[in-house]
């Protein structure tokens, strides 16, 4: 599965992203009515059809619900962390409502497998391990590996250099500002795995507990791999959705 930022974002997708961000940041509480189609149309300078299409996407991913004759409302949260990802910007948006805690600071190490997936000529990468939480509950443990050049750039970020430090940043968001070429796309694979002692200890689950493993290999606009992120998610606290559309010719 690939997420790409290479194509121009449509007006309704951009509007849906902004409304989603406002909901996640708590601007609209559970059950609160959102602005009307007419209000959003005037506020953003788009057609009501564009607003309607944005609301359709948000309804499909469970962020809002519509009541005929009354309006559109922020959907109640059921305790599970739900996000829909369809672009690099969506992944960067994790900083809006989650926190990252460094459990193993950025360091230089030999990792043949990670170096191979990053298409490096040598075996050295820079690696940081962190746990991401939402409202105090751990969602996932992530191991990020980057090429040495990217590692040197990230070493200027104090939050990545100390165990236990917390922040709202994302590694791809940092790289996007530190590297010469911005991140453009990601190859993604999703599998099921079981917690080993280290992952279980970090996430507070038993050894053998089922987990959702998501691997993402990010590339910049030149097609060069710049980050390999391997994450283990607790499925009882995390729900992943993506939207698939049929191409129309």
pLDDT digits (tens, 9 = 90+) for 154-174: 999 999 999 999 988 889 889
Over residues 214-223, the mean pLDDT reads 92
Determine if the pTM surpasses 0.85. Answer: no
pLDDT tier at 92 (50, 70, 90 boundaries)? low
CATH of range 81-241; options 3.40.630.30, 3.40.1410.10, 3.30.1370.100, 1.25.40.340: 3.40.1410.10
133-150 pLDDT, tens per residue? Answer: 877 888 899 999 999 999
Which residue(s) pair with 194 in the sheet? Answer: 210
53-91 pLDDT, tens per residue? Answer: 989 888 877 788 888 888 998 887 655 555 555 555 556
pLDDT score recorded for residue 29:
76
Are 85 and 3 contacting, i.e. CB atoms less than 8 angstroms apart? yes
What's the DSSP call for residue 60? Answer: H
**Helix axis angle, 48-60 relative to 11-24, nearest 10°?**
50
Show me where the domains of the chain are located. 8-74, 81-241
Q: Residue 230: pLDDT above 60?
A: yes
pLDDT score recorded for residue 4:
42
CATH code 3.30.9.90 for 8-74:
no
pLDDT score recorded for residue 120:
97
């Amino acid at each position: 599965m690939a997420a790409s930022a290479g194509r121009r974002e449509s007006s309704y997708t951009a509007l849906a992203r902004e409304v989603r961000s406002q909901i996640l940041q708590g601007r609209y509480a559970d059950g609160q009515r959102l602005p009307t189609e007419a209000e959003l149309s005037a506020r953003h300078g788009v057609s009501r059809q564009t607003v309607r299409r944005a609301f359709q996407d948000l309804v499909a991913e469970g962020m809002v619900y519509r009541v005929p004759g009354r309006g559109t409302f922020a959907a109640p949260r059921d305790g599970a962390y739900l996000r829909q990802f369809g672009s690099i910007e969506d992944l960067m948006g994790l900083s809006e409502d989650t926190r990252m805690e460094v459990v193993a600071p950025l360091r230089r190490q030999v990792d043949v497998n990670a170096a191979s997936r990053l298409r490096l000529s040598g075996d050295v990468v820079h690696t940081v391990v962190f746990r991401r939480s939402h409202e105090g509950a751990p969602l996932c443990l992530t191991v990020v590996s980057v090429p040495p050049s990217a590692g040197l750039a990230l070493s200027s970020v104090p939050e990545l250099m100390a165990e236990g430090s917390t922040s709202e940043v994302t590694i791809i968001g940092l790289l996007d500002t530190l590297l010469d070429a911005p991140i453009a796309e990601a190859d993604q694979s999703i599998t099921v795995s079981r917690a080993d002692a280290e992952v279980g200890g970090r996430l507070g689950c038993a050894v053998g507990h089922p987990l959702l493993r998501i691997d993402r290999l990010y590339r910049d606009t030149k097609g060069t791999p710049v980050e390999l992120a391997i994450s283990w998610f607790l499925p009882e606290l995390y729900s992943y959705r993506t939207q698939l559309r049929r191409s129309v010719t």
